[in-house]
Amino acid sequence: MKFLQTPKSTYLLQASLDVLHFESHEWQNEMAFMSDETNFLHKLHLKFMEKILPEKQRTHSTELQVKLTQFSTLLNNIKDDIQAHERYLANILQNNINVSDEEYRARHQAVKQQAEYLFNEFKQLKKEFFYWAEDVIS
Amino acid at 94: Q
**Cα 56 from chain centroid?**
29
Confidence (pLDDT) at 9: 52
Say if CB 23 and CB 114 are below 8 A apart. no
User: What does each of the 138 residues of the chain score in pLDDT, given as a tens digit?
Assistant: 545 455 455 444 456 888 898 999 999 999 999 999 999 999 988 887 767 677 777 788 889 999 999 999 999 999 999 999 999 988 888 888 888 888 889 999 999 999 999 999 999 999 999 998 888 787
